[in-house]
Amino acid sequence: MKILIIGADGQLGTDLCKVIPKAEQIPLTIKDIDITNRQQTLDAIKKYSPNVVINTAAYNQVDKAEEDSKLALAINRDGVKNVADACKAIDAAMVHISTDYVFDGKKNSPYVESDKPNPLSKYGKSKLAGEEVVRNSLDKYFIIRTTGLYGVAGCLEKGKTNFVDNIVKKETATVVDDERISPTYSYDLARKIDQLARTNKYGLFHIVNNGDCSWYEFAREIFKLLNRNPEKIVAGKIITKAKRPKYSVLANTKIKELGMDDLRPWQEALQAYLKEKEYI
C-alpha cells in the first residue's frame, strides 16, 4: 500500500509519519504540494499514484478566519476540492481531517456522527464546506472529526506549539472553564487513522481520546502531572473574535461499532505526551 501524506511536517502529519511504515508512506510538505494550486495538486498526486491520500493541510486560524474568510475557504474548501478531484482521477481513497467546530455546542451530550452540524464561526463553516466537498466528490473517503488536538510537532500556523506546551511554559494561567472538549493526542489519532485507512469502511468518523473536560480542567491536569500547584490555574473569561461551541465533546460511535475504539482516556494520553516531550 502507498499512502501519501499532505502536510507531513505538521502536527498530525509528523505523527502519521511515525506510525505508517516508511516503505509505504509518501510524505509531502508545502514545498512539495500547495493544495490551493489546482494543477500542482493534480500533478503531484497523479505522479505518486497512491492508494490513499491523507490530507492534513488546513487553515486553522479560528479568529483570523472571521476577518479573512476567503483564505479559509480557499484552503478548507477549494483546496480540499483539488485533492478530492485528484483522488477521484486515480481512484485513491481520501482521508480528510475535520473539526468539532462544525457543531454549535448546544447539544450538551457527546456529539455522534449523525448529529446535524451548525457551525458558529467562519472557520467552522469553511471546514463543513470541506466535508461536503469530499462527500459530494468521492465514494471512497474517510472524514475524520477530532477536537483539542496536541502533538509533539505543534501546530505550524501557531508557531509549532499547542495548548499543552503553552500551559507548560507558564507559572500561572487564566483558562476558560465554560467550553468542554475531548482533548486528543495526535499520535493516538494518527495510529487510528492508519488503521482505518487500511479498511474499506468509508464514511464519517469521530476520533478522540476518551472522556471529556473543560479547557480549565485540562490545564489543571497538566499542572498536576508536572507536580505543580493546580490552584495556579484560574478559571476566567477570554474574549475572542470567533464564537466557539461551548460543548465540543465527540463520541467515537462509528469506530466503536467497528470494534476499533481502543483510544485511551485523555488523562493517560496527556501523561504519555508529557513524557515524550520530557516535561516529566
Active site residues: 123
What is the widest separation between alpha-carbon atoms in the chain? 55
- Count how many Cα atoms sit within 13 Å of the Cα of residue 61 in the half-sphere of its side chain: 15
| Closest listed residue to residue 186, CA positions, set 144, 140, 123 | 144
Distance CA 71, CA 126 (A): 10
**CA torsion through residues 127, 146, 204, 87, sign:** positive
For the chain, the first-to-last Cα distance in angstroms comes to 37
- Count how many Cα atoms sit within 13 Å of the Cα of residue 33 in the half-sphere of its side chain: 33
Percent helix, strand, coil in the chain, to 5, is 40, 20, 40
